[in-house]
Amino acid sequence: MGFPHHPHPRETTVLTKHFGEADARTLAGWKKRGGYKALEKALGMQPADIVNVVKESGLRGRGGAGFPTGMKWSFMKPGDGKPHYLCCNADESEPGTFKDRELMRWTPHALVEGCAIGAYAIGAETAYVYIRGEFTEPLHWMESAVKEAYAAGIIGKNAMGSGKRIDVHVHKGAGAYICGEETALMESLEGRRGNPRIKPPFPAVSGVFGMPTTINNVETLIAAAPILLNGAEWYKKMSLSSPKSTGTKLYSVCGNVQRPGTYEVVMGFPFKEFLYDLCGGPLHGRKFKAVIPGGASVPIQNMEEAEATLMDYEGFVAGGSMLGSGGVIVIDDAQPMVTVIARLARFFAHESCGQCTQCREGTAWTTKILERIRDGEGTVEDLDTLLDIGEQMTGKTICVLSDSCAVPVVSGIKKFRGEFEALIQGKRFHPVTAAVA
């Protein structure tokens, strides 16, 4: 768990081990903790071998989609005569998610190292770290880490004396949620408006500046270093749910919970124990009502589903949701669900880039209906309309922002329909007694 708290004994701290140690942010401090050993090892290996180790480790993308990282790296064909690029997606904007922020705040050198390893593995000489505009402190630490690493010759024209060139550039975004979508990120990086591109072509064929590009999440790249040092077997073994989901995963917990913060647990950890033990359970006198386990874009779980869930890619799907970005939003019985969902929808309506019709109009329309229901002006037909708009917004647009907006709305109506109907019937939600009257 993140500073100022000590990790919970049941956490497995691999990536979060040095959280809270101010010294670890400097090059000297990071080296003292074993930093850049993995990069040194990597530069002595063949890129294809690195890709194979990562493939074997079963590491999957930590940004939300969970695509196998080794396989993604293997899409980058060596010797195609084109410059390759690595993009690190540090535009962590998913509501409820702040794990990458903490990683960059406390272990900026770990990301520099991860970027360098990733870039070398995919045959790229340049890595871009696209940091969310609001992340001023992580930006500061990342910039200082990159500067230190250049000065020490760890990256640059002759990375660690290997004769290989690896450049790492830190790019500050301007605070748009959509720029976390990989193709929008690339548009933004190139200096254009952050609108998602039509796929295909996929980034591995035509990404940044039209060149083959791999884009990875912060946590994914940082995880590559311990995997290289300790081996794929070590990484797989940690997990309780090998071989499908391996290693550890960071969760950022927020909402109505005793101990919000960043936690690192192994894959397959029971969600119930995570919520009640590690996170300390609900606030005094309250009960959990719902959990959004993977950032605002995944389906809402009711407690029955959540408590039966094992925390890995498959477990959350079995539990009616998705692992997503690991942003756990806990909602207790004092929160009216309609208000929660309306607020989520408003976020998506605000952040829609406005390219695709369904998303531009649908997110705003959904929000207006939800807020009307919230204010006691809803009708029974509104729920059908919402579900139908949700259907229209799913799987029909360039990127998944539209789907993401529909997800909490559709799952919320399905799982908490009673609260919607009560408001429509003119009843009021009482936040103290949590009763509808």
Partner 1 sequence: MAEKKMVNLTIEGRPVSVVEGTTILEAAKTAGILIPHYCYHPGLPIAGVCRMCLVEVEKAPKLAPSCATTVAEGQVVRVYSDKSLDARKGVLEMLLINHPLDCPICDQSGECELQDYTYQEGREDSRYREPKRFNPAEDFGGDVIYVPNRCILCTRCVRFMDDVAHEPTLNVSERGDRALIGKFEGKDLTHPWAANVVDLCPVGALLSKDFLNKARAWELDRTASICPNCTQGCNVIMETRENQLVRMRPRPNENVNAFFMCDWGRLNYRWMNEKNRVEHPMVRGKNGLAASDWEAAISAAARALNGKKVFVAASPMLSNESLYLLTQLMQGGSGAFRVTEGEEAPLPGVEDLALRRERAANVYGAEKLGFNKTKDLLGGLGQGDVLVIAGEDLAGIDASSVARAGDVIVIGSVLPEAAGKASVVLPIANYSEEEGTVTNLRGRVQRFTQAKQAPGETRPSWLVLGDLLGAIGKQTNFFLPSEVFAQLASSNSSFAGLSYDSLGFKGLPLVDAPPTSPKAPIAVAAR
Q: Return residues touching partner 1 (CB under 8 A).
A: 176, 178, 192-193, 197-198, 349-358, 360-365, 368-369, 372, 381, 385, 388, 391-392, 395-398
Token pair belonging to 341: 């969902």
**CA–CA distances in Å: residue 395 to residues 283, 307, 390:** 38, 29, 10
Distance CA 261, CA 387 (A): 34
Give CA angle at 32 (13, 128), nearest 5°.
Answer: 75
Give the nearer residue to partner 1 in terms of CB position, either 50 or 369.
369
CB of 276 to partner 1, least distance (A): 38
Give the nearer residue to partner 1 in terms of CB position, either 158 or 385.
385
CB of 177 to partner 1, least distance (A): 10
CB of 341 to partner 1, least distance (A): 17
Tally the C-alpha atoms within 13 A of residue 9's C-alpha that lie toward its C-beta.
Answer: 1
CB of 66 to partner 1, least distance (A): 18
Q: Of 87, 95, 134, which Cα lies nearest the Cα of 111? A: 87
Strands 84-90 and 213-217 turn out to be parallel
CB of 352 to partner 1, least distance (A): 4
Give the nearer residue to partner 1 in terms of CB position, either 282 or 362.
362
Token pair belonging to 111: 């990301």
Give the nearer residue to partner 1 in terms of CB position, either 308 or 383.
383
**CA–CA distances in Å: residue 28 to residues 152, 218, 347, 389:** 10, 22, 41, 55
Token pair belonging to 143: 């910039």
Give the nearer residue to partner 1 in terms of CB position, either 93 or 355.
355
Token pair belonging to 51: 């890709």
Secondary structure letter of residue 236 according to DSSP: H
CB of 431 to partner 1, least distance (A): 26
Give the nearer residue to partner 1 in terms of CB position, either 301 or 367.
367
Distance CA 118, CA 397 (A): 31
Residues for the chain: how many in total? 437
In a 3-state reduction of DSSP, which class is residue 387?
A: helix
CA 138 to mean position of chain CA atoms: 16
CB of 364 to partner 1, least distance (A): 4
Distance CA 296, CA 94 (A): 6
Distance CA 251, CA 261 (A): 8
Give the nearer residue to partner 1 in terms of CB position, either 162 or 392.
392
Give the nearer residue to partner 1 in terms of CB position, either 198 or 432.
198
Distance CA 111, CA 280 (A): 30
CB of 270 to partner 1, least distance (A): 33
CB of 338 to partner 1, least distance (A): 16
Give the nearer residue to partner 1 in terms of CB position, either 286 or 396.
396
Identify the burial level of 163 via C-beta atoms within 10 angstroms of its C-beta, where 0-12 means exposed, 13-18 middle and 19 or more buried: exposed
